[in-house]
Amino acid sequence: MRALWFSALAAFGIDQLSKIVIVHLMDLKSIGVIEVLPPYLTFLMGWNTGINFGLLSGAGARWILIAVAVVVSAVLIRWARTFTRPMGFVSAGLIVGGALANALDRLIYGAVADFLNMSCCGIANPYAFNLADVFIFAGAFGLVMFGEDGKSKGAKTP
C-alpha cells in the first residue's frame, strides 16, 4: 500500500506544481497560448467545467464530479488492498492522485485547469489536457496490465 500512497502523492503534487508554474507563474491564464515546441507542444489555457470534450458541463456538475472523484478514489483504494503486485499499487495511486488533483481544481476554480496541447503529423489537436489526465490514463493502463481481479490473496484456483 505504500506504493499506492507514494504514487498518489507524487501524481497529485506534480500535477498541482505544474499548474502553479505554468498557469500562474508563467501567467498562461492571461496570455492564453505559449508555443513551446511548435507544432508539437503548445501550452493552451483551457478551463474544463465538465469531462472530456465539454460533456457534463452544467452548473451542478461541478459538485457531482468532485463527489465522483472522491468515491472512485475510495473504491479504488479499497480494491487495491487485495493487490499483491507493486505495479498494481502504483497504477491505482496514479489514478487516485490524478483524480483528486482534478477534484481540487474543481473545488478551487470551479473547473479543471487544462494547458497541454499536442499536435503531430499535420493533425491539429484543438483540445488541452493536464498532467493529472496523463496520470489517470497511465494508471488505468497499468491496472489493465498489472491489476488483479480482487479475489482474496490466499484463494486457491479450482
Catalytic residue numbers, as ranges: 114, 133
Instruction: List, as one string, the DSSP characters of 77-142.
Output: HHHHTT--SHHHHHHHHHHHHHHHHHHHHHHHHSSEEEEEEE-BTTB-----B-HHHHHHHHHHHH
Which cell numbers in the block locate residue 46? 483551457
User: What is the chain's alpha carbon radius of gyration, rounded to the nearest angstrom?
Assistant: 17
In this structure, are residues 66 and 107 in contact, taking their beta carbons and an 8 Å threshold? yes
Beta strands in 5-140 (DSSP E): 33-37, 41-48, 112-118
The angle formed by the CA atoms of residues 86, 90 and 95, to the nearest 5 degrees, is 150
